[in-house]
Amino acid sequence: MNKKVEYTRLIKEKAKELGFFYTGISKADFLEEEAKKLEDWLKKRHHGQMAYMENHFDKRLDPRLLVDGAKSIISLLLNYFPKEDIEENNDGLKISKYAYGEDYHFVIKKKLKKLLEFINIEIGEVGGRVFVDSAPVMDKVWAKRSGLGWMGKNTNIINPKSGSYFFIAELILDIDLEEDGPIKDYCGSCTKCIDACPTEALTSYKLDASKCISYLTIELKSQIPSEFKGKMDNWIFGCDVCQDVCPWNRFSKPHNQENFDPHIKLVKMSKADWEDISEEVFREIFRKSAVKRTKYDGLKRNIKFITNY
């Protein structure tokens, strides 16, 4: 067996052992097709106030500028579909499923570092970096290129066996590995995600992030525009509508990652509890959570905007 095939097998086996349920590999190359799309998206201001999206334009499109001599991108998926939907217990106020438990950045980064350590031990000294949604890497594009799913009309990666409730992470390495090719798009004529979007942020395969509830409740630091009154569908952090209605998510199965289980107090939160939440309770429940990104004042802003219309 040649080294490229053997290295690829070892890496995928280790990734599975670490809890990633899919691993795909693509060639580290310039994203020519995405360059024009990204430029147009930014020109139309669809990124809203996310000024960081304008930074490192060249690095977003060429991973070789992030890792010297980069040859392969390993894309990995980690399931976060919950065992239970906590919104059923709290009078309808909702937070996105990905934020139920511990912040995924920390959970995944630990796993990736273990995988990189394994690679250096089993294969030899390899140059590389780990990425978890915190650097100019177009993770969905690389996941698509490596055959982990297709880019759905809701702009999420959809895996035909497991839906779309997963985190995407990458290892960019300076060694050649066996590449996986992209798979077919199976959205067909379905428009459920577009039809269900409460703020009409979606058109086919395009997202105007400045209208997206996830953006409005997390990324937007100023007041939520009044035009969205009555359109937030009770989401106080993030939004899962375009995933909840996607027929492919009937294949989603609960994760087995204890870190992603919700805090016991979060499960029991009523609408009144949310409205009266103190900074002390916020810190207790969300001490290790991605919800910290919106900060206490941001969460209070979201709750007030939704409950006072």
**pTM value?**
0.92
Give just the sign of the alpha carbon dihedral 142, 99, 200, 190.
Answer: positive
**Per-residue tens of pLDDT for the chain, all 309 residues:** 588 999 999 999 999 999 999 999 999 998 888 877 877 777 777 666 666 666 667 788 889 989 999 999 999 999 999 998 886 555 679 999 999 999 999 999 999 999 999 999 999 889 999 999 877 789 999 999 999 999 999 999 999 999 999 999 999 999 999 999 999 999 999 999 999 999 999 999 999 999 999 999 999 999 999 999 999 999 999 999 999 999 999 999 999 999 999 999 999 898 899 999 999 999 999 999 999 999 999 999 999 999 985
Task: Report d(CA 126, CA 116) in Å as an integer.
Answer: 8
Measured N-to-C along each axis, helices 3-17 and 104-122 cross at an angle, to the nearest 10 degrees, of: 140
pLDDT value, residue 51: 60
CA dihedral sign of residues 63, 109, 289, 88: positive
By annotation, the residues acting in catalysis are 133
The pLDDT of residue 46: 66
pLDDT at 55: 65
Q: What are phi and psi of 143, to 5 degrees?
A: -65, -40
What domains appear along the chain, each with residue ranges and CATH number? 3-83+98-173 (3.40.109), 192-253+261-307 (no CATH)
Q: Return the number of other C-beta atoms located less than 10 Å from residue 96's C-beta.
A: 21
Instruction: Give the closest residue to 174 by CA, choosing from 73, 60, 77.
Output: 73
CB 222 within 8 A of CB 79: no
At 47 the pLDDT is 67
Gyration radius of the chain over CA positions: 20
Supply the pLDDT for residue 86: 80
Neighbouring C-alpha atoms within 13 Å toward the C-beta of 81: 16
Q: Are 212 and 155 in contact (CB under 8 A)?
A: no
